[in-house]
Structure 1
């Protein structure tokens, strides 16, 4: 039911309508445009909430005559024509009724006056009575008809108005808003409130009508003063549109939109104030949701920007760490990035030889009051982080520091600190520590995750650099091992050969391809016995004596000096080939024995002859004395040659032999040397010589050539104990002069031919064949010939004896090689 007070004059309920009212509601889904129209297209109400509905609202109202608020444009729709809300129809109002009754009375009076005049004119009394009666009867009938018609019309109009009012109120009750009518200028005096007020506020229409101050009571305290001031303008005929909050019965704050106008009669007098209250809850919720979405969007954008910044920091740090193998400069640039983007301080401490040492310190620009300075000692806190592998963040997220500074870094009072370990392959490398002293809030879990990500990359970079250096060191070591003279063999913990360098191949004649990956006891003959004799140390010891042992190789028995060092990955053995050294030692021992014998023999002869000459117990004749003196002279000369050979060998080793190059005739030199040798040749040996014609001159030291040739002839005679022919030849051969000495003596075994020119080497060291010597003669020959630019070698002499050859360059070849040679002016020291 509709609650309403007694109808005041001018209300629509007592105004006539020309037709029955109906409602056409055009609701736009987003704008809630509402049009209320009569059946004859007279517009009652139009509301357009957005510009998008202007065309619809205008289309519905362009042909209808009026809106409910004259002189008012609302919404954002087009202006409407100024017409009354309900246009009066043909209805007898009380004033009209009284006017018509007066008109009927006037007609009656006119009829009465006419009757009086007629009566005066009529002489006959009877006719006067008849005329008067007729006139009065007609007047009464006319008056009755007028009264009847007026009453009938009024009853019909009242019924029509009642029906229109019922439809109108049904219309108002069905609107999706609250319709509220009050006295002009007095909101506390409510004339009508639609039932939808109950759904909006929880208060019934009767409560609104019965409690005058309910509206002000329900106004939100924060909106009350503003709303009252705004609504005061409506009393002055100013349309009002305001958004405010009403307090519902259940305590909710309901947002409404108040649109109030003053309705006036055709004369311009205010009839009542008409208010429409629209529930803005959904709109407000949409706006709140939109605001929340905007806030969330801004927060998401900020978070995306923050995450992008962190990703950029990680990316740039990765680029710096991978751009160089100099980890010191790379870490310095990474620390600079951190203090620009994340923290005020960045400290990197690294473990070096078991000790944690400060490597990098970076900070942002210091402030005027910031005098902080870090010490060089990382401190126990960072040490614990590095060793334990557990990160620390101070203060812990969610806890308050109560304004106390964090003293995690020595010498620095920070607001917040993060320290994370640097690790690679589960091995501690150090710690990365960042601190905030001035900027931003304390570090949170996201900051900790970022620093841990950076620490992982730093650890990988450090490990990569370490591995690269290790690879380089191993490559350098491998290059060294390829060229080192010592044999190196690496066995793993299972005794499998992992390294066998070229020197080891050369010493043992065992190819690395055939033994790598095999057990040493299977790949190297006699290794087990050899390894049992080698003491293995746990660390290199230069003072440790090496062990010399023999091993069997494809080249025969080799003597090696070997030592071993064990480490976590296996055992390294280093060995040197001492076979030649050992042989040289044996040769030296033989030389000493031989030299002693060679020296003792002439010395004994000299000593014996001298003692004989000094005896007085018997007398020697002149022949006997001459024989002993000649013996002393010959043995002394022999002793001198031995001593000279030893001295010359030492001079050759020391490079102190002077060479005086000059051209000489090789044929003449051969002839003189052969003649001198014949003086000491035994009768069983014949020495002959031949020389080719037109021999070119030889550029060399003629004394040294004479010494070489005499030594070869002496050896040929000495190694011909049974006699035979010794032939000395000289001829030109391929631009050089070749000297040769052939004998028919003992010969030289093939295995000794490559070694007879070695120092102290003798083909018959035990003198089984009765041939002695110091083992220096052929060594001296080889050294002298090579220092004169020639070469010397030995060949078998057609199956009997030996043939020695040496070649020297001609004088012409020497001039081409060295320029003009003046005798006695060209000297070389070799």
Structure 2
């Protein structure tokens, strides 16, 4: 009898333990449901469109702003392929950039124009663990109004730049004639002042030309003369023309390159890209510092990389580095000459070649810029 009572007591304890486990499990389940509901409420009330894709690139979650942008119901959207929602012309490029498993980076941001005149900034984040890809988080920001304002500003800048270029050119040639003695002799003091004025005027002309290039880019009027060429030839030309600048700054330039496949490029404009990146590296690296250029390729791209040991870019300002007129605070303190247009311009040149450009940087340790050009860029 005593044994039965003992077993009964043991069973009672087991039942009690099981009930406690079930209560804990139920509490955890309710807590998980509450957290999921909170997350869904936050996603639903965001002003930007948010879409969660599974491994098959199918939509699992979509919020109301996204359904409004794409004019589709939630039930209709679930299970669809995200790219099928995009009513744009360059679907293959966008698909490759946003949801290609072979992409180089985990995060991509791309601006697209839809056929019904919407301008969307689409950010794609690859979701993965240590073992496999889990899916993608897509964030869509409507920048149509900003684009309209930007267009008006661009048109104003274009008109103003054209109006300024003519008198500046006249000033340039007048000063040149005086310096060359075409209008009589001048004193050394006069020559020094005129040479300083000439340099300042040249700087203004370069700024005007940069502004006009930006206007052409934004209006789609920047022309490209593409041909099959070797990237190393373009690199060699830029480095040769930059020797004096490198010597004057007393920095060490190391170049590691191999013979890469030919790519279809505008040699002059890709030269502008490399020149701009090299000038920035030299400009923002202290004397005695080191710059390293690497030219390589994988199966799909020719890859250009330039590392410097310079001042770096503050983390809080890195997301603005390719925007117009932006210059990081630490470089404006050490180098007053600059427009903030160079990186914006070269970003658009690289993208016009169907390539990508990005960077890695740590303040006071240096910056590394990369850009790629597709090998089959036909």
Q: TM-score scaled by structure 1?
A: 0.24
Higher helix proportion (structure 1 or 2): 2
Q: Higher Cα Rg: structure 1 or 2?
A: 1
Which structure's relative contact order is higher, taking Cα pairs within 8 Å and 6+ residues apart?
A: 2
TM-score, length of structure 2 as denominator length: 0.49
